[in-house]
Amino acid sequence: MRSVGIKVFVAIICALLLTSHTPAMAHTALVSSSPRNGAILQASPKNFVLRFSETLAQIDGKKINTMKVMGPSKVRVKLNAMKVMKTSLSTTPLQPLTIGRYEISYRVVAKDGHTLKGNLRFTIK
Ligand SMILES: [Cu+2]
């Protein structure tokens, strides 16, 4: 019967969806960044790019994917607007950064609704 076939099909899809997101699996993760964590740079980075393992969620008018850059003496670096492109979040500094240690902290929401927070550091020599 046709309806039995559909039920089996639906059951298989449900099973796949459940196993594809078990608690043991990590949700979205940071895949790469520019600058890299621990990087020692000779000059100011032209941009900040974070790439994640999952597509980021976007809600019109809400800044749900953000990063913050703190510089020497805990001075917050002024950044241009955040750009979200599928799995990446990027921005550029308003002005070139000076010598010192910096920390990027980020908070993103993946399309599955899960939030990821983290931070990384880099130094300009
Ligand atoms: Cu998740």
Q: How far is the CA of 83 from the centre of ligand 1 (A)?
A: 21
Q: How far is the CA of 43 from the centre of ligand 1 (A)?
A: 36
Peptide bond into 35 cis (omega under 30): yes
Q: How far is the CA of 48 from the centre of ligand 1 (A)?
A: 24
Over residues 101-108, mean pLDDT: 98
The predicted pLDDT at position 13 comes to 47
CATH topology of domain 27-124: Immunoglobulin-like (2.60.40)
Query: What's the 3-state SS for 10-67?
Result: HHHHHHHHHHCCCCCCCCCCEEEEECCCCEEECCCCCCEEEEECCCECCECCECCCEE
The 10 Å Cβ neighbour count of residue 123 is 14
Give 75's pLDDT tier (boundaries 50, 70, 90).
Answer: very high
Place of tokens 């850059």: 69
What does the pLDDT look like over 45-70, one tens digit per residue? Answer: 999 999 999 999 999 989 999 999 99
Q: How far is the CA of 61 from the centre of ligand 1 (A)?
A: 23
CA end-to-end distance (rounded Å), the chain: 72
What does the pLDDT look like over 2-37, one tens digit per residue? Answer: 666 656 555 544 455 544 554 546 689 999 999 999
Is the pLDDT score of 122 beyond 50? yes
Neighbours of ion ligand 1 (CB under 5 A): 27, 112, 114
Q: Is the pTM of this model over 0.85?
A: no
Mean pLDDT of the chain: 88
Q: What is the DSSP letter of 99?
A: S
The predicted pLDDT at position 14 comes to 47
Structure tokens at 10: 């639906």
Over residues 73-91, mean pLDDT: 96
Q: How far is the CA of 114 from the centre of ligand 1 (A)?
A: 5
Instruction: Give the integer Cα–Cα distance in Å for 26 and 34.
Output: 22
The predicted pLDDT at position 38 comes to 98
